């Protein structure tokens, strides 16, 4: 055969073969598959499954890279505390956020998991922490600006022994001069708080009393935290997506970009 001639052998196909029964009134049709056809079809199917699996693997990794890029300006921590990681070893986000129960200003016991379905910025702070106080005005302004979003909430977990300490610190930062002079009792602090902040704060205050003479609350310590402020950005499924050590300017454009990258993710 010359180079210009096309091969005359047909491609592998499935052939229908008639099988004659001894009875003239009945004939059966039997389909015989060419083994090469079966092999090629199986290979194509295997490749399709592999491509689909690769797609499923790439989607969450791409989302994680997008979040890292959006939050890069806020200097996200690369590694989380081992106590937050499966198996107690070093890991990076995302990982499930440990659930906890803390008291709010009304005395109600609130769980972190109560906010499942919302994006949560969990801020660990304390009244004795000067850096925490300097962070509060920006945190308050950001929470106020984002208050129209039903799927976002800011939780401020205070490592304080009682509510007067926590509320007094909030007044110091958001309503300077509102606290009565001298050592104010619980009722005086509560009255000053209601007068200065009649609508409360756009973030939700929670109390995390430290044991004995310690200064870090039990919940805060259970997250591996030894100093405040620190913050965790948690998605709707309850996973920590980004973690921040020390204060941040939560009213900055980079902070808004970071927060919205998680809020807008579905």
pLDDT of residue 149: 84
* Tokens (6 digits) for 244: 């921040």
Supply the pLDDT for residue 64.
56
Give SS3 for 70: helix
CA angle 145, 146, 151 (to 5 degrees): 170
- How many domains does the chain contain in total? 1
98: in domain = yes
Inside any domain, residue 188: yes
- Extract the residue ranges of the chain whose pLDDT is less than 70: 1-46, 48-66, 68
Residue 23 belongs to a domain:
no
- Of 265, 263, 231, the C-alpha closest to 245 is 231
The answer to whether residue 20 sits within a structural domain is no
Q: What is the pLDDT of residue 2?
A: 44
Q: How far apart are CA 97 and CA 99, in angstroms?
A: 6
What CATH number is associated with residue 111? 3.40.30.10
Cα-based distances in Å from 143 to 53, 126, 139, 166, 251:
39, 18, 6, 18, 9
Flag whether 112 is in a domain: yes
Within a domain: 79: yes
Residue 197, preceding peptide bond in cis (omega within 30° of 0): no
Q: How many residues does the structure list for the chain?
A: 266
Residue 87 belongs to some domain of the structure: yes
**Structural domain contains residue 73:** yes
Residue 245: what pLDDT?
97
H or E element at residue 111:
strand 109-111
What pLDDT score does 148 carry? 84
List the domain range (segments joined by +) for residue 100. 60-263
Give the helix/strand (H/E) hosting 29. strand 27-32
Task: Quote the CA–CA distance of 108 and 112 in Å, as a whole number.
Answer: 13
What is the Cα–Cα distance from 96 to 80, expressed in whole angstroms?
12
How far apart, in whole angstroms, are the C-alpha atoms of residue 86 and residue 84? Answer: 7
């Amino acid at each position: 055969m010359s180079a210009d001639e096309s091969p005359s052998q047909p491609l592998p196909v499935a052939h229908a073969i008639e099988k004659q029964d001894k009875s003239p009134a009945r004939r059966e049709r039997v389909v015989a598959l060419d083994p090469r056809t079966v092999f090629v079809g199986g290979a194509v199917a295997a490749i399709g499954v592999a491509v689909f699996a690769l797609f499923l693997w790439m989607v969450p990794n791409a989302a994680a890279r997008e979040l890292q890029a959006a939050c890069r300006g806020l200097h996200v921590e690369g590694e989380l505390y081992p106590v937050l990681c499966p198996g107690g070893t070093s890991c990076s986000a995302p990982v499930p956020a440990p659930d906890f129960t803390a008291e709010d200003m009304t005395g109600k016991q609130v769980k972190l998991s109560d906010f499942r379905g919302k994006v949560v910025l969990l801020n660990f702070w304390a009244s004795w922490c000067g850096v925490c106080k300097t962070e509060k005005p920006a945190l308050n302004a950001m929470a106020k600006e984002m208050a129209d979003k039903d799927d976002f909430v800011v939780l401020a977990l205070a490592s304080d022994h009682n509510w007067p300490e926590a509320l007094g610190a909030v007044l110091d930062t958001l309503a300077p001069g509102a606290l009565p002079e001298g050592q104010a009792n619980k009722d005086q602090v509560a009255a000053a708080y209601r007068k200065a902040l009649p609508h409360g704060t756009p973030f939700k205050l929670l109390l995390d009393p430290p044991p004995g003479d310690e200064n870090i609350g039990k919940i805060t310590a259970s997250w591996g935290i030894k100093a405040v402020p620190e913050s965790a950005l948690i998605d709707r499924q309850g996973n920590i997506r980004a973690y921040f050590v020390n204060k941040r300017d939560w009213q900055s454009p980079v902070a808004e970009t970071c927060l919205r990258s998680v809020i807008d993710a579905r």
